[in-house]
Amino acid sequence: MPQSDIAMLIETIALDMRSAPERGVLPTYIPPLADVDPDKFGIAVLEANGRMHLTGDANEPFSIQSISKVYALTMALETIGAPIWSRVRQEPSGNPFNSIMQLESERGIPRNPFINAGALVISDILLSHFGAADARRAFLAFVRSLVAKTSGVRYDESLARQEYETGFRNAALANDMRNFGNIQNLIPSVLRQYFHQCAITMTCRQLAESGRFLMMGGRVATETAQSVSARTTQTVLALMMLCGHYDGSGSFAVQVGLPGKSGVGGGILAIVPGIASIAVWSPGLNAQGNSLLGTAALTRLVHATGWSVFTPPRHEA
Amino acid sequence: MPQSDIAMLIETIALDMRSAPERGVLPTYIPPLADVDPDKFGIAVLEANGRMHLTGDANEPFSIQSISKVYALTMALETIGAPIWSRVRQEPSGNPFNSIMQLESERGIPRNPFINAGALVISDILLSHFGAADARRAFLAFVRSLVAKTSGVRYDESLARQEYETGFRNAALANDMRNFGNIQNLIPSVLRQYFHQCAITMTCRQLAESGRFLMMGGRVATETAQSVSARTTQTVLALMMLCGHYDGSGSFAVQVGLPGKSGVGGGILAIVPGIASIAVWSPGLNAQGNSLLGTAALTRLVHATGWSVFTPPRHEA
Amino acid sequence: MPQSDIAMLIETIALDMRSAPERGVLPTYIPPLADVDPDKFGIAVLEANGRMHLTGDANEPFSIQSISKVYALTMALETIGAPIWSRVRQEPSGNPFNSIMQLESERGIPRNPFINAGALVISDILLSHFGAADARRAFLAFVRSLVAKTSGVRYDESLARQEYETGFRNAALANDMRNFGNIQNLIPSVLRQYFHQCAITMTCRQLAESGRFLMMGGRVATETAQSVSARTTQTVLALMMLCGHYDGSGSFAVQVGLPGKSGVGGGILAIVPGIASIAVWSPGLNAQGNSLLGTAALTRLVHATGWSVFTPPRHEA
Amino acid sequence: MPQSDIAMLIETIALDMRSAPERGVLPTYIPPLADVDPDKFGIAVLEANGRMHLTGDANEPFSIQSISKVYALTMALETIGAPIWSRVRQEPSGNPFNSIMQLESERGIPRNPFINAGALVISDILLSHFGAADARRAFLAFVRSLVAKTSGVRYDESLARQEYETGFRNAALANDMRNFGNIQNLIPSVLRQYFHQCAITMTCRQLAESGRFLMMGGRVATETAQSVSARTTQTVLALMMLCGHYDGSGSFAVQVGLPGKSGVGGGILAIVPGIASIAVWSPGLNAQGNSLLGTAALTRLVHATGWSVFTPPRHEA
């Protein structure tokens, strides 16, 4: 698809979204996220050839929240590798993102790295690998290495602290897994690492850039970043496809047909292997906790471009 | 990839599989399936250009069992369309294929059309649409319309009857959904329809042919078959990717990276959109009830060809 | 307590209940039970010395429904004995009376004989012991042997048939247990036996008489009835106390403090060991499916008499 | 029953227990409890007339653990009263004592005050009522007020600390309830209060004395103790009967037929209303976490005395 078409297409989508009657609801349980302007909307599309297309609030930083789980899983796979699968599984959970029920029946082994319990295990793994003193820094450094200009890519310390102080369900999950021996560091350390990861802020542009290695099978273009293995990108993309939207993953796959990861801050990162890395942001959420207009925008974009992985490539048709 | 390479590749894979030390276990709860020769192994790869590659026992009919759920869902979508989603959802279940627990907490609405409960709802929909007298015939006719030579594509009546007589869990599921008003026909009719669908026999060659419309975005080449809508194929492929291997769907996505659907008879149908339709058959099952060597063979095939939907296409690299 | 006091007491209670503003709701899922006059109210108190006190509609037959599970368990214990505990447990379920979830996680062994699944196992045991041709007759004969005048103690065949035709959840439970090998007779036979047991009609007077053996440690006064072992009565009373009111058993124990068994027809049988056998009837149900005014009446009666098993006997005070 | 008979009876029982081939298993997850001599065995029977019968190690202090939940519930009922039932229910849980699953589906409201989650709520209530500085002291003072000689009735601080440091499941429960707003004090305070309550040490003699108010409908004989309301004792006894032995409560009711409360330290307190307060101690546990020989001894004792609440009183026979 000619690049001019993509630019025009996302403009049209953004225009339509601006007047959408339903914008979803802001998450009330995290006060700073509840205060975000619900009219914010941005799209960034990075093509494989390096062209970046932006529209709306694509240069405004927002809290990526659970999208950070993509980077954390990548780091864990690149440092520890396959042994992580003895501590977290690779299957959809069939339960809400913060469910604690399954942990009990499955003896403290979370279903996948994208539900909260699984992400806490990944944070615990990063803490053990990098050390309590350095894990937070190492994580931020990795994320920064994925973007061209790191300005604004930082921890929102105030948000991290607030989430830490009110994150009782996550504390329950961590304690429960510790009970089964599946958390090895001190629980406050694990929670602080986890909530910092979630509290990273980025723009749509930076988010789309950060997905470049996933689009390209692991190869990255920045000078600072090391390449990621093809094996890791395959695994991360497969899990994004199966578990990236919590209990709405199936519906997202049917509508959009791309591996994607959402965050409760209203962002979604979606990858078209070999073709594009897409970031959308709209703060209002649907019933499953995923960006309502972000999903709608991706549905429109994929419908127009034929980018779904389930669509035969145009040149084959 | 040159076609000669594919032919050679599947020969090599088949050769390796022949000497695999672990072949999985046959399902004991369906006597006729327990009697199948565990050394059977076949692969059929149909390319978009129409070339068919076969190896091993690819021309021997076997019981496709749950792979039939792909055809049933397709028929339901093409006849009834979107309203089916008020009776069955689109999400992974996080539970075994025949679980009854979730039905209770979710008021009789199954998680997806590929677990048993959901497939029973689809059978009920087909019964209502085609009538009790004709639904079975219509289903078989649809499947036959998808293959070039229909010889051997038939109901194994003896197997259907045996499964009907011993399928107490499926009877429990149907009764439970009837209790919630989500089964509308007589339960024995629904069960007979369902068990007949499962008892269809096909060869790997026929199975691969039958997946052509999924590979091609709905377009089919046979004279008899009507085209299927692009919307339906997208939906079916997305659900195959997310739910096609029961509680091993995540692991299959990570390893193989293709939408696929397994059956307890040891078959797997996997689709490479725009590129290939693949059928494998090896009767021994892994712990999740999916063909052990079939999965291994697909993993090998995809690794060599780069056909995973999560891999950047070669020409983009 | 002087007998005149009891007569006066139940008159007062009945009077108050007649003007109770809240009478509970009739069960809508069993049409004949939904048509019962909600103003019906009766109490029968049989003292250990043989005196019977009646008030209100205590001579009018009603459907005892789940109270029949008391007789069925007694028969199973007297005929088969302890081996029944390999097929049904003795613990509260913590789930609604007709829950199917627990069966799956506990491999088809119901929690106790008073939830539906457990009662179906007991019916299956009676069928195996007495034979399909005679089990229904044997059950009715046993119940009749417990009362002085059997007039009106009969199966409501129309109700039994209606429950059979619409009892999909019970059919689901039976099929599910059959799947685990814990139902041995044909499922329609088991369901017919079960629904007939539930469809027995009795008056409050007869119900109170039928509880005499439970009050007296197994000894019965009628010429026709055989004594029941003390062991059996202990067991039945203990399970009535722990599981006799479904998910409201704890609340009933706290308020009333007696072993009791409720039925969805609005009846409750409560036993004061060595002192009284009490039957109440009021068709409206509370949220747990137990008679709302029946429970209120028993609470009043026990409060006035000190009959709770948790209250120190008067003569000890 | 003549008092000499009781003395002789418990001697005989203790003698038999001494040579019991199976003694159960010590709890491994609490190190100090795992080190207790498994041959310890004691019985204390306090009759309504004040006579105390002792045998074996009845004067040796042990950790009462969950038996403390009886005192905590009593205190909460006497201070706060009925409002506690908006924060904890009165029903058997149907799940293990430390299950976290039910909390999620029931929105943070525990099933009863004797499972861990419910007991944590009670500790939270005591903390709010007495203040963080005084709650621990107030609890110990209440327990001491129930016994004649308080020597040895104390907190095992070392054990309380160890349980606090390793009690991750209880921390998970507390955090989970805090998430639902059902814990109001700081979680470390709640856990410390809870683990101190559990770490009280008493002898069988003192334990039997402490149950006197439950035996006597609330009236107590010591100079220091205030009477407890009859309403409270009824409630506590009913909940002991229904939930006092975790997932073995039904089996205990069938075998013993008395309201009782067990602790993982191997103690059991059982009450015969108006007749006796009984304490047994044997450290080995059965599969449900209740004292194996303690249960056996109570079964023997009740069988010989006819003390089950389900047995008609002798003078009525």
For each of chain A's 317 residues, which pLDDT tens digit applies? Answer: 565 699 999 999 999 999 898 999 999 878 888 899 999 999 999 999 999 999 999 999 999 999 999 999 999 999 999 999 999 999 998 776 677 777 777 789 999 999 999 999 999 999 999 999 999 999 999 999 999 999 999 999 999 999 999 999 999 999 999 999 999 999 999 999 999 999 999 999 999 999 999 999 998 766 666 789 999 999 999 999 999 998 899 999 999 999 999 999 999 999 999 999 999 999 999 999 999 999 999 999 999 999 999 999 865 33
Beta strand pairing call for B62-63 and B154-155: unpaired
Whether residues C94 and D112 touch (CB distance < 8 A) is answered with no
- Interaxial angle between packed helices B157-166 and B187-198, expressed in degrees from 0 to 180 and rounded to the nearest 10: 130
Edge-first strand order for the sheet with C62-63 is: C62-63, C200-202, C154-155
Q: In degrees, to the nearest 5, what angle opens at C-alpha D250 toward C-alphas D248 and D254?
A: 120
Q: A221 in contact with B at a CB cutoff of 8 Å?
A: no
**A72 within 8 A of A123, measured Cβ to Cβ:** yes
Kindly list the residues from chain A whose CB atom is less than 8 angstroms away from the CB atom of residue B257. 234, 237-238
Kindly list the residues from chain A whose CB atom is less than 8 angstroms away from the CB atom of residue D187. 168, 171
Q: Please state the pTM of the whole predicted model.
A: 0.93
Whether residues C217 and D313 touch (CB distance < 8 A) is answered with no
Kindly list the residues from chain A whose CB atom is less than 8 angstroms away from the CB atom of residue D99. 104
Catalytic residue among C70, C153, C236, C264: C264
pLDDT at B222 > cutoff 70: no
Domains of chain A with CATH codes: 3-65+201-305 (3.40.710.10), 68-197 (3.40.710.10)
Q: How far is CA D121 from CA D113, D228, D295, in A?
A: 8, 21, 28
Whether residues D238 and C310 touch (CB distance < 8 A) is answered with yes
Nearest chain B Cα distance for residue C96, angstroms: 11
**B71 within 8 A of B143, measured Cβ to Cβ:** yes
CA distance A307 to A303: 7
Q: D168 in contact with A at a CB cutoff of 8 Å?
A: yes
Q: D95 in contact with C at a CB cutoff of 8 Å?
A: yes
CA distance A210 to A263: 15
Beta strand pairing call for C154-155 and C200-202: antiparallel
Annotated binding-site positions of B for substrate = 66, 116, 163, 170, 194, 246, 264
Q: Quote the tokens at residue D94.
A: 């149907």
- Interaxial angle between packed helices B3-18 and B292-305, expressed in degrees from 0 to 180 and rounded to the nearest 10: 150
Nearest chain B Cα distance for residue A261, angstroms: 15
**Res C235: pLDDT:** 98
Least CA distance to A316: which residue of chain B?
B274
Entry field: residues in chain A: 317
**B44 within 8 A of B207, measured Cβ to Cβ:** yes
* Cα atoms in the Cβ-side hemisphere of radius 13 Å centred on B50: 5
Kindly list the residues from chain D whose CB atom is less than 8 angstroms away from the CB atom of residue A99. 104
Beta strand pairing call for B62-63 and B200-202: antiparallel
Nearest to A172 by CA among D173, D109, D107: D173
| pLDDT tens readout for residues B112-138 | 999 999 999 999 999 999 999 999 999
Q: How far is CA A253 from CA A3, A71, A308, B273, in A?
A: 25, 21, 9, 15
User: Looking at the predicted complex, does its ipTM rise above 0.90?
Assistant: yes
Q: C270 in contact with D at a CB cutoff of 8 Å?
A: no
Kindly list the residues from chain B whose CB atom is less than 8 angstroms away from the CB atom of residue A243. 250
Q: Within the 172-211 window of chain B, which residues sit less than 8 Å (CB to CB) from chain A?
A: none
Between C43-57, C82-96, C233-247, the lowest mean confidence (pLDDT) is in C82-96
**B78 within 8 A of B100, measured Cβ to Cβ:** no
Q: How many CB pairs under 8 A join B and C?
A: 53
| pLDDT tens readout for residues B250-302 | 999 999 999 999 999 999 999 999 999 999 999 999 999 999 999 999 999 99
Residues D48-74: b if buried by 16+ CB within 10 A, e if exposed: beeebbbbbbbebbbbbbbbbbbbbbb
**Res A223: pLDDT:** 65
CA distance C175 to C179: 6
Least CA distance to B187: which residue of chain C?
C168
3 state DSSP class of C312: coil
**D69 within 8 A of D268, measured Cβ to Cβ:** no
